Amino acid sequence: MIRAVGRLLMLATVALRNVRHGGRRTAAAILGTSLSLTLVLLQLGFLGAVRVTAVYLLEQLEFDAVLSSPSYDSLYDAGMVSLDRVEQASSHPNVEHGRPIWLMFAMWRCPPYPYDPGDPNGDDDPTIADDPKTGDSRPTGPQSFGEGSQAVIDKARTVIEAKQPLDALRDVLSGRYDVRPNFRRRELLAIGVDPFDQPFRDGPVADAIQSTREDLAIDARVLLNRLSHPDFGWDLRPQFSGWELDDSRVEVVGGFDVLKGFGADGGVITSRTTFLRHTRWPEPRSASVGLLKFRERDPDQVEQTLDAIRARLPDDVELLSRAQMLTRESDHWVKRTNTGLMFSAGVALAMVVAGVVVYQVLSSDVRNRLPEYATMKAIGYSNDAPVVIVVIQAAMLALLSYVPAVVMAQGLYWLTTSLAMIPMAMAARDLTTTLVLALVVGVGVSLLTVRKLRAANPADLF
């Protein structure tokens, strides 16, 4: 036993020496492997961003179970659930409260960019001719700027040049400083809640609603997502006042923070009454989903409660636990949207490429050292000794490549987040997947070379 461990240690030392004295050859091998691992981490990060943004909004909501329509597709296209069903479900003794929430896409009137301080309403493109507050008729003069007007472009350029280089790059890539007078209306996600009984978990969104609830309760007042695409105009909030939600004038009374995902570029939170009055929601007695909060929340109780409520509800509504809901939403984005499918294909491809690179690196190393292994055999080592060395060496190479790969991927994540404004975070699962991939492929490939090693014939040396 001890002898076996001793021999293993000895072979491990040989493997370490092989790596250490490989010089530029080993450096090239590590570079190649770590770049391909970086690629895997990057693609996993993209896919992870799809998952994270898919459930981000749901995760901010307080619920143990959710009532949704049978035609539920994703939170952005949820169908309708009758408020009666929400009440019916809430009458179960274990339900602390049931809260409806409304979500629907609505048109948002964005401030013009670049913003003209002399024209606080951005009057070139109003839907409504009159200001409801003052009763003044808005001037309906010619457009304040035409397409491609030189002055406007110059103005944009000064803004870009005043920024740090990366900021400017990001702004250009994200279209922020483009002169796009035509994109004055963009769709955002309107979220309707009861300001005095709001459904968000304790956190920044809940605080934002609670601190402005008196304001929000008044008709036509909204909170704008601070992290919305810049087009939606959060930055211009102090100066601009011509906000419109669908076709009616609204006032922005505050902001909240929800990550921008692949589903919507921006969002507003409104009171239920504002939502029903100013969006095109068709049925005031229905909501998008009903969120149920339970009193007893241990798994058995939750399961029993779910069964009991399901038994008393008709077919026009579905009841899912929190976990089921989150899984369904994330599966929808990863498996059913083209965005998710493309990122999944990217992950698969990156893994294959990484496998090929590792194979190449190792097999060329084995080939180069074949005479040395043959010598080992000539002086009496067993057939297995070179195999053990190569396997250990493969594991070392994998680990050595993994560390710089994580560092490089961190950098690329940061770059992607700032350029594409996608939330990229290194998940423990992705880190493990990549490490396991590197080790499994490395060791697997080194076992593939066993035949070559076994066949190493000392006589060939001469």
Partner 1 sequence: MSSRLLGPALLLAWRNLTENRLRLLSSVAGAAFAVILMFVESSFRDALLDSMTAVIRKLDGDLVLISRKLYTLGIPMSFPAQRLDLPRGFDDVEKVSPLYVETRRSRWRGPYNRGLDPHRAGRLPGDGEDSSPDAEPISPAPHRIRVIAYKPSDDLLNIPSVRESMAAWDAPEVALVDVRSKPRPYGPIPRNQDVELTNRRIRIVGDFELGTDFQNDGTLLMSEENFLDYFPERRGPTASDHKIDVGVIRVRPGTDVLRLKRSIAPILPRDVLVLTRDEFVAREQDFWGKVVPVGIVFNIGVAMGFVVGLAICYQVLFSDVADREAEFATLKAVGHRNGWLRLVVVFQGTFLALLGFVVGIGISQGALVPLIKHFTGLPLEFKPMGAVFILSLTVLMCVLSGLIAARRLQSTDPAQLFR
**Which residues would be at the binding site for partner 1 (CB under 8 A)?**
24-25, 28-29, 31-32, 35-36, 38-39, 42-43, 46, 70-73, 77, 105, 107, 125, 173-175, 178, 180, 182-187, 229, 231, 262, 265, 315-316, 318, 320, 328, 335-339, 341-342, 345-346, 349-350, 352-353, 356-357, 359-361, 363-364, 367-368, 412, 415-416, 419-422
Q: Which is nearer to partner 1, 32 or 254 (CB)?
A: 32
Angle made by CA atoms 252, 258, 262, in degrees to the nearest 5? 110
Rounded Cα distance between 30 and 26, Å, is 6
> Are 50 and 262 in contact, with CB atoms under 8 Å apart?
yes
Q: Which is nearer to partner 1, 73 or 214 (CB)?
A: 73
Q: Which is nearer to partner 1, 175 or 203 (CB)?
A: 175
Phi, psi (deg, nearest 5) at residue 64: -105, -25
Q: How far is the CB of 330 from partner 1 (least distance, A)?
A: 15
Q: Which is nearer to partner 1, 210 or 363 (CB)?
A: 363
Q: How far is the CB of 334 from partner 1 (least distance, A)?
A: 12
Q: How far is the CB of 125 from partner 1 (least distance, A)?
A: 7
Give the end-to-end CA distance of the chain in Å, rounded to a whole number.
37
Q: How far is the CB of 16 from partner 1 (least distance, A)?
A: 21
Q: Which is nearer to partner 1, 91 or 364 (CB)?
A: 364
Cβ neighbors of 339 (< 8 A, separation 6 or more) are: 50, 262, 333
Q: How far is the CB of 423 from partner 1 (least distance, A)?
A: 11
Do you find a cis peptide bond into 282, omega within 30 degrees of 0? no
Q: Which is nearer to partner 1, 67 or 388 (CB)?
A: 67
**Closest among 332, 288, 294 to 65, alpha carbons compared:** 294
Q: How far is the CB of 94 from partner 1 (least distance, A)?
A: 22
Q: Which is nearer to partner 1, 25 or 312 (CB)?
A: 25
Q: How far is the CB of 364 from partner 1 (least distance, A)?
A: 5
